[in-house]
Structure 1
Amino acid sequence: MTIVGKVGMLLAIGWLAALSCPQARAASVEELLAEINKLPPKERQGRLEEGAKKEGVLSVYSNQGL
């Protein structure tokens, strides 16, 4: 197999892997949200704050200039 063929094969495998990941991740997000929504408000707030601290990033979305 030529170098061009190998690169093409790697690109095809990469695209297949990239396209399959969001579907698997979306199911786990839905399950996580369902689990969090079952918690009492105070416990839910604590879990969300704990997860935010682990993530360590804040994203602000707005339609107004900040």
Structure 2
Amino acid sequence: MIIASEKKRVFIYKDTQLSDPSINLSKEAVLNFYANTYPELNNATIDGPEIKDTELHYKFLSTLGTKG
């Protein structure tokens, strides 16, 4: 018998673990959601998922630009 289960998504920015605001949101939409709190995420990329136990870990990686 096979039992399917959804893995919990966890989003990580720097050393902060961010909860999933809604399973219905894409990972890009979650990034945009947290960009309201962390403006540097407006230019971030998403790394992952990395499976850890029963969770899917996504990392938000900020990409710093230069002016000029």
Smaller-chain TM-score range?
A: under 0.3
Q: Which has the higher helix share?
A: 1
Q: Which has the higher contact order (CA 8 A, sep 6+)?
A: 2
